[in-house]
Amino acid sequence: MKLLPKILLACLLTGQTVHAQTEFRIYDTIQVTHHNLHFDIRNFKDQTLYGKADISIRSKMDNLKYVPLLLRQMEIDSIWVNGSLLSGYQYNDTLLRIPLVSPLNEGDKSVVSIAYHGTPPAAEFGGFLFNDSLRMAYNMGASINDIPHSYGRGWFPAVDDFRSRSTFDLHFRVESGLKAIGNGLLKDTVSNGDGTTTWHWTVNQPIPEYLVNVAVGDYRKIEMSHRQVGRTLPIDIYVLPQEVENAREAYAIVPGILESMEKRFGEYAFDRVGYVSVNSPGGAMEHVGNISMPMNPQPTLDYQLYIIHELIHGWFGNKVTCATAGDMWLNEGITTFCQELVFQDLFSQQEAKNDSEGNLLFVLSSSLNYDGGYYPLQGMPQEHTYGIATYYKGAAVMHTLRYYLGDDLLIPALKDYIDTFAFRHVTTDEFKDFLSAHTGKNLDDFFNLWIKQPGFPAFEIDSIVSTQVNDGYKETIFLEQKLCHANEYGHNVRVPITLFDETGKESTEIEVTATGEKPSFMTQTPFKPAYWVVNRNNDVALASFTRQLSINNPGQYSLPGYNLELECKQVKDPVNVYLQHYWVTPDAMQTKSDILLSDTHYWRIAGHIPASCSLSGTFTIDKKYLDSELLKDGPEEVLVMYRPTPSDNWQEHSAGSLEQGYFIVADNLKPGEYCLAVRVLNRN
Q: Among 5-19, 120-134, 303-317, 491-505, which stretch is predicted with the lowest mean pLDDT? A: 5-19
274, 311 contact by CB (below 8 A): no
Task: Specify the pairing of strand 231-239 against strand 273-278.
Answer: parallel
Q: Which pLDDT value is given to residue 561?
A: 83
The CATH 2.60.40.1840 domain(s) of the chain lie at: 455-542
Q: Kindly indicate the confidence band of residue 632, based on its pLDDT and cuts at 50, 70 and 90.
A: confident
Q: Which pLDDT value is given to residue 10?
A: 43
Q: Which pLDDT value is given to residue 681?
A: 66
The CATH 2.60.40.1730 domain(s) of the chain lie at: 19-240+269-277
Question: Residues 347-385: pLDDT tens digits?
Answer: 999 999 999 999 999 999 999 888 999 999 999 999 999
CATH 1.10.10.10 fits 19-240+269-277, yes or no: no
CATH number of 455-542: 2.60.40.1840
Which stretch of DSSP H or E encloses residue 436?
helix 428-439
Strand runs (DSSP E) across 246-387, as ranges? 273-278, 283-284, 291-294, 320-322
Report pTM: 0.94
Residue among 610, 619, 611, 615 nearest 556 (CA): 615
Cα 153 to chain centroid distance, Å, stands at 24
Residue among 385, 362, 278 nearest 562 (CA): 362
Question: Residues 77-112: pLDDT tens digits?
Answer: 999 999 999 999 999 999 999 999 999 999 999 999
C-alpha distances out from residue 390 to 212, 305, 326, 330, 386, Å: 22, 17, 9, 8, 6
Question: Residues 293-321: pLDDT tens digits?
Answer: 999 999 999 999 999 999 999 999 999 99
- N-to-C CA span, the chain: 45
From CA 42, how far away is CA 236, in angstroms rounded?
24
The CATH 2.60.220 domain(s) of the chain lie at: 544-684
Q: Which pLDDT value is given to residue 21?
A: 41
The CATH 1.10.390.10 domain(s) of the chain lie at: 323-454
- Given a cut of 70, whether residue 8 has pLDDT beyond it is no
290, 213 contact by CB (below 8 A): yes
Residue among 284, 259, 263 nearest 274 (CA): 284
Count Cβ neighbours within 10 Å for each residue of 314-345 and write b for 16 or more, e otherwise.
Answer: bbbbbbbbbbbbbbbbbbbbbbbbbbbbbbbe
User: What backbone torsions phi and psi does residue 446 show, to the nearest 5 degrees?
Assistant: -60, -50
Helix 394-405 crosses helix 407-420 at what angle (to 10 degrees)? 120
Quick check: helix, strand or coil at residue 418? helix
From CA 286, how far away is CA 389, in angstroms rounded?
19
Question: Residues 389-446: pLDDT tens digits?
Answer: 999 999 999 999 999 999 999 999 999 999 999 999 999 999 999 999 999 999 999 9
Task: Specify the pairing of strand 2-3 against strand 283-284.
Answer: antiparallel
Q: Among 114-128, 183-197, 380-394, 425-439, which stretch is predicted with the lowest mean pLDDT? A: 114-128
Q: Which pLDDT value is given to residue 660?
A: 63
Q: Which pLDDT value is given to residue 11?
A: 43
- Given a cut of 60, whether residue 593 has pLDDT beyond it is yes
Residue among 221, 183, 217, 187 nearest 203 (CA): 183
CATH fold, domain 323-454, is Neutral Protease; domain 2 (1.10.390)
- Given a cut of 90, whether residue 663 has pLDDT beyond it is no
Residue among 204, 452, 433, 423 nearest 321 (CA): 423
From CA 357, how far away is CA 396, in angstroms rounded?
8
CATH number for 544-684: choose from 3.30.1180, 2.40.360, 2.40.160, 2.60.220: 2.60.220
